[in-house]
Structure 1
Amino acid sequence: MSLGLSSTRSSAAGCWLVIYPVAVFSSRNFKLQDKAERIVILGTGGTIAGKAADAADNVGYKAGQVGVDQLVLAAPPLAAFKLETEQVAQLDSKDMDFATWQRLAQAVDRHLQRDDVRGVVITHGTDTLEETAYLLMRVLAPRKPVVLTAAMRPSTALQADGPQNLLDAVAVASQAASGVFAVLAGRIHGATRLRKVHSYAIDAFASVEGGALGTVEEGRVRWLSQAEAELPPLGLSRIARDASQWPWVEIVQNHAGADGRVVEAMLAHGVHGIVVAGTGNGTLSNGLTAALQKARDRGVSVLRSTRCDAGPVIGGELPSAGALSPVKARIELLLQLLA
């Protein structure tokens, strides 16, 4: 291709994020300082690859319609980089599933092991991006950067945000030392503290408990804080089991009038693990507490999280998920059970 791309079609992380000072990127004078120059971009679909019939329509679009090669062509400054693309999946991230997670993690690991690869960028939908980022952070120990990016507007929008986000993500992948990041709206986030906090706005993501790790400003990567401390990696072998055989882990929520009937229903159908999103400091109604204790007595694993956007769950009789959001606590419990 004219942008120097080589395209493949196969569809075949907890760690400490080590961040060092980085050089300034310019599309005119960019030069990598080591032999690993290639950035691999893995496409999975999402709004960034979405299309609408009307350019003024930012809602009535269909996600996952544009191939990853086309996403690269929509950002001409990417011609400054040595790129390779692979279409791992093409779906709306609200439909993200275990099989795609497994295939994606294996693809990331495969490319990271190549001597000529500097880093990996993943184009993703926004709905479950924070979950995928956390999964990759827990099962990989990347010595190179893995950067997820996305868009809140489809590729056909009058002011599509996807091309800039992709350009920024590649800039970060070319300069960061190691770790799993998300780059959106000019901000660099770590996998653990990342949250989608707005349903529609362009800057829909935030890092709770400390803010973003850095920014990308007109091609300049600027780090604002030290890397967040991540959990040690569990290893890719955790997800080697066929995706159809992964444990069933569900999320329940405490709310006014909550009782234990939903937990009883799950027990009757063979649930393996339950994450409960409690109110405040993970508080639960008496009925829900009793039902979850019953589930534990029957061998079901339980983790207690909170509906709050930030802050840890401290104390209590049921095991705490710490500061993990309910969806990330579900991934943590799922990976523990996959052991």
Structure 2
Amino acid sequence: MPSLSDAISDAGRGARATVVILGTGGTIAGTSARAGDNVGYTAAQRSVQDLLAAVPALAAPGAPAIEAEQLAQLDSKDMDHATWLALAQRVQLVLARPEVAGVVITHGTDTLEETAWWLHSVLATPKPVVLTAAMRPATALAADGPQNLLDAVTVAATPGVQGVLAVLAGQVFGALGLRKAHTYRPDAFTAGDGGPIAVVEEGRLRPFRPWPVAAGRGAAALPADPQAWPWVEIVASHAGARGDGVRALVAAGVRGLVVAATGNGTVHRELEAALAQAQAAGVVVWRSTRCADGVLIGAVAEAAGAAAALSPWQARVALMLSLMG
């Protein structure tokens, strides 16, 4: 596969391909008072332009043309639906430009897997949308953000790549199956049984299997007011589970519930009784598993439908979009 220096041309006219980088904050833009402190930092402090300045290779001859925008400045634990809407709309608009090869989104790691699935489910484009992040702040002695950003641009600029992807620690993941699996290590992400789709090695992309396709309804089809989007929550089954939380959510007006079930979709009897009551009251209930790897199988999977192969966090997004109609 081509390297970053083998920048693609625009429809054969010799112009450099353009990669648009949208900044949303996160640890990759975080700072700490001490260079050796990898956990006591404040996220979302540096601009996307600052992040670019830390990667000289992106300004080198032969690199794609880069455009950068600060779309948001959040610690991703605080990601919200309004930002998701703005992000989907902006990505769709940018990718409609013929000279744009792909989009890179700098993001926090905490909810990156949710944003990736949201964009996969919403966008309608053959071009790549690449999320990247960092586990260490920009002020760390060995910050991982600059290399991750360089790798993400490499992926976004490579001809033939498509779909919503995440690039971290040299690995390229699809949105489906993406999980943050470690609280600290730079290689914190996995993709369950499927593993990474590709790797980036010294500026070159080595794919293992076909790219996913983002074939959603399109950002224009989303309701304009995020406050009016269907309220969907996640409840977990566990030892000693009670149904009071479910009943409280129903009374408060929740429209959908995703159950993070134990094992292959099993649910504590007390919680299951409350969920049956919720369904009788018109609340839509989907079932997933709280296990980090694997999917629901057998009769449970058939009953779970779309949620069988999704994490609870992905299933919440899918149920919310389903309730939007």
Aligned-residue offset at 1:209: 1.8
User: Which residue pairs with 2:44 in the alignment?
Assistant: 64
Structure with the larger RCO, 1 or 2 (CA within 8 Å, 6+ apart): 1
Question: What's the TM-score once normalised by structure 2's chain length?
Answer: 0.93
Secondary structure of the structure 1 residue equivalent to 2:32: coil
CA contact (8 A) 1:304 1:313 kept: no
Q: What are the within-5 Å matches in structure 2 for residues 34-183 of structure 1?
A: 34-35=10-11, 37-79=17-59, 80-175=63-158, 176-183=160-167
The residue identity in structure 2 corresponding to 1:78 is L
Aligned-residue offset at 1:232: 4.7
Distance 1:259 1:241 in 2: 36
CA deviation string 1:35-73 (max 9, x = no partner)? 471100000000000010100001111100000011011
Aligned-residue offset at 1:231: 8.0
CA deviation string 1:61-113 (max 9, x = no partner)? 11000000110110000012200011000010000000000001101001000
Secondary structure of the structure 2 residue equivalent to 1:292: helix
Distance 1:78 1:90 in 2: 22
Which 10-residue stretch deviates more, 202-211 or 40-49? 202-211
- Number of equivalences: 314
User: Which residue pairs with 1:192 in the alignment?
Assistant: 176
Which residue of 220, 229, 246 corresponds with 2:204? 220
Secondary structure of the structure 1 residue equivalent to 2:194: coil
Aligned-residue offset at 1:178: 1.4
Question: Which runs of no fewer than 5 residues in structure 1 stay unpaired?
Answer: 1-22
Question: What's the TM-score once normalised by structure 1's chain length?
Answer: 0.89
CA deviation string 1:103-160 (max 9, x = no partner)? 0110100100011111100000000000000000001122111000000000000110
Which residue of 284, 288, 304 corresponds with 1:319? 304
CA contact (8 A) 1:148 1:169 kept: yes
Task: Give the fraction of aligned pairs with identical amino acids, expressed as a percent.
Answer: 56
CA contact (8 A) 1:302 1:319 kept: no
Secondary structure of the structure 2 residue equivalent to 1:137: helix
| 1:333 is the counterpart of 2:309 | no
CA contact (8 A) 2:89 2:220 kept: no
User: Which residue pairs with 1:12 in the alignment?
Assistant: none
Question: Which runs of no fewer than 5 residues in structure 2 stay unpaired?
Answer: none
Distance 1:210 1:195 in 2: 12
CA contact (8 A) 2:164 2:174 kept: yes
Secondary structure of the structure 2 residue equivalent to 1:322: helix
Distance 2:4 2:99 in 1: 21
The residue identity in structure 2 corresponding to 1:224 is F
CA contact (8 A) 2:123 2:214 kept: no
The root-mean-square deviation of aligned C-alpha atoms, in Å, is 1.5
